[in-house]
Chains A and B, each alone.
Chain A
Amino acid sequence: MSLLEETPGDLTRKYQGSFVWYNKKLRYIGSFEKKEDGDTDPLCVAFMSKPGERRYTTEQVLDDDEIENIHFDSHFFNSQHWDKEGVTIPNEGLALKYERVPRRQWIRSLSPQTCLITTVIGPFMNTLGIATNNIVELQFSHVSQMIEPYYPSYNKAIDLLPRVRTIALSPNLALLPSPYEPDVIYIRSLFALIGKAEPDRIKVYHNGSYQEVLDYVKRSNETIQVELCQIT
C-alpha cells in the first residue's frame, strides 16, 4: 500500500514530531490531513519550522517518494558551530552522542522516539553538583549538524575546549576536560575513555583503540604523534 493510500490518521501516527526528507529538504512534520476539495480530497502534510512551534505550513503530498525517512549511524557530533555569531555554548558543551533506539513505537523517522542523544560530560557535571541533563532533546540544529557535521582540527579543538567544554573531533572521537585531574584533557571513543590529549600528541591507554586513533589521524591529515602508553 502506498503512502497516498494510507489514512491521514495512520500517517500522523507514523510521522508526527519527526524529521524527514521531503522533496530532498529537511522538514519537521506536524500532521497529515485530507483537505476537502471536491472529489479529490488531496492528502496534505503540515510542516512546522521546529519542534514546539505553533505555526505551520501545509503542502499537498503528490508522490510517494516525496517523504524519505532519516536515520544516522551512531556517532559524535557538535551541537553547534562554535564560530557562528549568536552561538551560546550549552552547559554540557558541544559534543553529543547520537545512537538509535530499537524500541517499540509508531514513529518511522528521526525523532526523540527513534534515537537517543546523550552528552559527554553530563554525568560528571552532576557528580560535581552542577545539574545537567545527560539526555538532550533532539533539536532542528542537531539534525542540521548531523547532516553536515563540522569537526575542528585537533589542536584547534584543544584550544577551544575551555570555552566549549566538550567537542567532537570526529564521528568516533571526542575531547572532554578531565573531571579527576587538573589540566588534563581526555579523549574518548563512542564507548569509553581511551587516552589523554595534549597539543600535537595523543596518548592512547587502551590497546583496542590504538588503531582507531591512528585511523583518525590518517583520515584527518593531522600531524599528531600517537603514543600507545601503559598505565603507571
Chain B
Amino acid sequence: MPDNLELTDGVEHLIEEFNADPYQQGALQEAEHRRLVDRNQDILMQPVYGQQQVARPEAVDPFEAYRVAVRQQGNQQMFRNAPLARALEDGAPVKKRKVNDEITFSSLIRDLFYIPAPPRPQLQDMDEVCRVLKLLTQKPYHFEDGKSLVGIEVEVENVLSVGPNIQLLFWQMVEDGSLRNRGHEFRNRGPIPLNYVEPALELLWRELNPSIDFSGRTSIHVHMDVRGFELNQLLTLLCVYAVVETLLFKFASLTRRSNIFCVPITETSLLTNIPFDSPKRIVGSILDTWQKYAALNLLSLQRFGTVEFRHMPGTKDTHKLLIWLDMLNHMKVFAYKTTLETALEDIGRLNTTSQYKEFLERVFGSLTAYFDMSNLARDMEKGVYIVKNLAVANPFHMSLSAMKVSEHSLLAKIVGFGSLVDRIGSEKYQLVRQFRSETKLPGTLAQIYDSLMRNPYHYLSTHSEKSELILKIIGATA
C-alpha cells in the first residue's frame, strides 16, 4: 500500500462507496460518482512531473487501495480470482517457466509452458465500470469472437495528467525507457475480452490529457491469448501470419516495417530456421532463437501464453485499433479451426493473385476490404514462398545434406582442392607454366592460376604484354 495516505484515502473512499452495493442497491448515481471523481481529481489530475511529483500516479494505485478495502471488508465480489490478487502484487517478476518435456503437435501451449489461467477482471466488474463511467457507446464495434482474450500495451508521450479511473480496472501505468517527453506505457491489468477493448480505450483517451502525443517512438502492442492452442494451431497461425505479414504492415503502418523494434519475420531467418518436423525442436527453436523485436513476438508464449503483434504505431484512432484487433482475431480463429496440414496445403496451392485474394477472404472475411490490395502478388508471394518451403518437404535439399562433401566435386575443382592438371587440363596447365616462367611470379602454379581467375584485370594491366596468354588461360577472348 502506498505511503501517500492522503491520495489513497481519497480513492479508497471512492471505491468503498462504489463497492457498497454495486449489485443489489444499484450503482452510484452519476452525479455522486462525478462528485467523488472530481474530488479526487484535485489530487490525481496533477501534472505527472513537476514540483508536486509526489502525486505521480504510479504511486497512487487505486486498484491496490481497492484491494485492501476488499480484504478489510471480506468482500470478494469485485475480484473473485485468487491468483489476481497475488499477481497484482506489483513488481513481482514473471519467471521463465520450464518447458514440458513431453511435446507433441497436439500439446496445448498452456501445458507446454505450465501457464495457469491468468488473473483478470471479472465480467460483472467490467460491465459495472463501463456502466457507471458511461463507457458504452451506442453502436459498439462488433467482433466475430468478442470473448477472445487480448492484452494491449499503449505507449504514449506527453502525458501531463492521468485521470483516477484509468487504473481502476482496465489499465496500469508503467515506465518505458524507450519513450521520451513524459512518455508512459499503459497496459491492461490482465487479459480482457475483445468486447471490452472499446470501452477500455475510450476510458484511456478520456482520462488522459487531450494533448497526448504519439511520436514515432510510440507503438501499440497486442497480445493474443493462445494458451488454449495446440502446437499445430500455433504453427498454422505462424504460417498464415507469414503469408499476410506485408499486408498487415500496410494496414498498420509501412513505416513500422523499417523500425528496428518491429522487424518483419519474413525478412529474417526466424521462421525458416524452425524445424517443422519435430515438435520438441520446434519449441526449442522458438525459445532459443526467436527475438523479442520481431514484428510477431513469440517469446511471450513462455511468459504469458500469448503471441505479441508489434506492428501498430501509436495512435488514438480507436476504430482503426478495433479493426486491427479484429483482423488479428480472425487469423487466430482461422488457425484454431484449420489444421496445420490443411493450411499448408491451401497455402501450397497459392500461385495467382486471385488465389491470394480468395485466401484472404477465407481468413479475414469482410475485413479483407481494409487491406491494400493494389499489389497483392508482390505483397504476398514472399510469405507464400517461405511457407511453401516450410510446408512442402524438400527431399532434394535433405538428401543432399546427408551426403558428404566430395573432393571430386565441382566446388572442389573450382576452389583448387585437386591437382591443377586435373582441374584445368594439361593444355591450360602448360599455359600457366609458360605464364609463370615468363613473368617470374612467385607462388605455386595453382596459386597463380587462382589469382588470375579471380582478378584477371589486375594481371591484364600489370602484364599487358602477356594479355593474349592471360586471355587464353582464363578462357576469354580479347
The docked-state distance in angstroms from the alpha carbon of A162 to that of B412 is: 11
The docked-state distance in angstroms from the alpha carbon of A211 to that of B263 is: 27
- The answer to whether B410 and A130 touch across the interface, beta carbons within 8 angstroms, is no
Contact string against B for A residues 166-197, beta-carbon threshold 8 Å, 1 for contact and 0 otherwise: 00000010001111111111100111111100
- The answer to whether B413 and A128 touch across the interface, beta carbons within 8 angstroms, is no
Which 7 residue pairs across A and B have the least CB separation, nearest first?
Answer: A208-B388, A208-B392, A205-B396, A102-B263, A177-B410, A192-B397, A102-B293
Q: A203's closest neighbor in chain B, by CB? A: B396
- The answer to whether B396 and A231 touch across the interface, beta carbons within 8 angstroms, is yes
- The answer to whether B385 and A212 touch across the interface, beta carbons within 8 angstroms, is yes
Give the B interface residue count (CB, 8 A): 58
What are 14 contact pairs spanning A and B, CB under 8 A?
Answer: A73-B267, A102-B260, A104-B291, A114-B260, A130-B417, A176-B411, A177-B410, A178-B409, A178-B410, A180-B405, A192-B389, A206-B389, A208-B392, A212-B385
Segment with Cβ contacts to A, from B11-19, B186-194, B221-229, B453-461: B453-461
Interface secondary structure of A, over-half rule: loop
In the bound complex, residues from chain B placing their C-beta under 8 Å from that of A194 are: 394, 396-397
Q: Is A100 part of the contact surface with B, judged by Cβ < 8 Å?
A: yes
In the bound complex, residues from chain A placing their C-beta under 8 Å from that of B404 are: 180
**Given A99-B268, A191-B389, A107–B348 Cβ distance below 8 Å?**
no
The docked-state distance in angstroms from the alpha carbon of A191 to that of B215 is: 37
Segment with Cβ contacts to B, from A37-45, A48-56, A83-91, A142-150: A83-91
In the bound complex, residues from chain B placing their C-beta under 8 Å from that of A162 are: 414, 453
Q: Is B403 part of the contact surface with A, judged by Cβ < 8 Å?
A: yes
Interface residues on A, range: 35 or more
**Given A207-B392, A208-B348, A179–B409 Cβ distance below 8 Å?**
yes
Q: Is B357 part of the contact surface with A, judged by Cβ < 8 Å?
A: no
Query: B residues within 8 Å of A by Cβ?
Result: 180-181, 215, 257-258, 260-261, 263-264, 266-270, 272, 291-295, 348, 351, 381-382, 385-386, 388-389, 391-392, 394-397, 399-400, 403-415, 417, 453-458, 461, 474
**Given A1-B180, A107-B260, A193-B400, A89–B392 Cβ distance below 8 Å?**
no
Q: Is A156 part of the contact surface with B, judged by Cβ < 8 Å?
A: no
In the bound complex, residues from chain B placing their C-beta under 8 Å from that of A121 are: 411
Contact string against B for A residues 113-149, beta-carbon threshold 8 Å, 1 for contact and 0 otherwise: 0101000010011011010000000000000000000
Across the interface, A231 reaches (CB within 8 A) one of B388, B399, B410, B455, namely B399
Across the interface, B391 reaches (CB within 8 A) one of A71, A101, A189, A208, namely A208
**Given A182-B409, A193-B396, A103–B291 Cβ distance below 8 Å?**
yes
The docked-state distance in angstroms from the alpha carbon of A208 to that of B397 is: 12
- The answer to whether A181 and B474 touch across the interface, beta carbons within 8 angstroms, is no
Contact string against B for A residues 91-113, beta-carbon threshold 8 Å, 1 for contact and 0 otherwise: 10000000111111101100000
- The answer to whether B215 and A1 touch across the interface, beta carbons within 8 angstroms, is yes
**Given A88-B458, A205-B396, A103–B293 Cβ distance below 8 Å?**
yes
Q: B266's closest neighbor in chain A, by CB? A: A74
Across the interface, B263 reaches (CB within 8 A) one of A100, A193, A209, namely A100
Query: A residues within 8 Å of B by Cβ?
Result: 1, 69, 71, 73-74, 84-89, 91, 99-105, 107-108, 114, 116, 121, 124-125, 127-128, 130, 161-163, 165, 172, 176-186, 189-195, 205-209, 211-212, 215, 231
The docked-state distance in angstroms from the alpha carbon of A231 to that of B417 is: 28
Given contacts A162-B453, A179-B411, A209-B389, 6 further A-B contacts (CB under 8 A): A71-B258, A74-B267, A163-B453, A165-B415, A180-B403, A207-B348
- The answer to whether B410 and A184 touch across the interface, beta carbons within 8 angstroms, is yes
- The answer to whether B413 and A182 touch across the interface, beta carbons within 8 angstroms, is yes
Q: B381's closest neighbor in chain A, by CB? A: A215
In the bound complex, residues from chain B placing their C-beta under 8 Å from that of A84 are: 457
The docked-state distance in angstroms from the alpha carbon of A172 to that of B269 is: 14
In the bound complex, residues from chain B placing their C-beta under 8 Å from that of A163 are: 453-454, 456, 474
Q: A83's closest neighbor in chain B, by CB? A: B457
From B293, B351, B382, B394, name the one whose CB has the most chain A CB atoms within 10 angstroms. Answer: B394
- The answer to whether A191 and B386 touch across the interface, beta carbons within 8 angstroms, is yes
The docked-state distance in angstroms from the alpha carbon of A208 to that of B410 is: 26
The docked-state distance in angstroms from the alpha carbon of A162 to that of B388 is: 31
The docked-state distance in angstroms from the alpha carbon of A89 to that of B455 is: 6
The docked-state distance in angstroms from the alpha carbon of A172 to that of B266 is: 13
The docked-state distance in angstroms from the alpha carbon of A179 to that of B258 is: 37
**Given A1-B215, A130-B417, A180–B400 Cβ distance below 8 Å?**
yes
**Given A102-B263, A180-B405, A206-B394, A85–B457 Cβ distance below 8 Å?**
yes
From A108, A127, A184, A209, name the one whose CB has the most chain B CB atoms within 10 angstroms. Answer: A209
The docked-state distance in angstroms from the alpha carbon of A212 to that of B268 is: 19
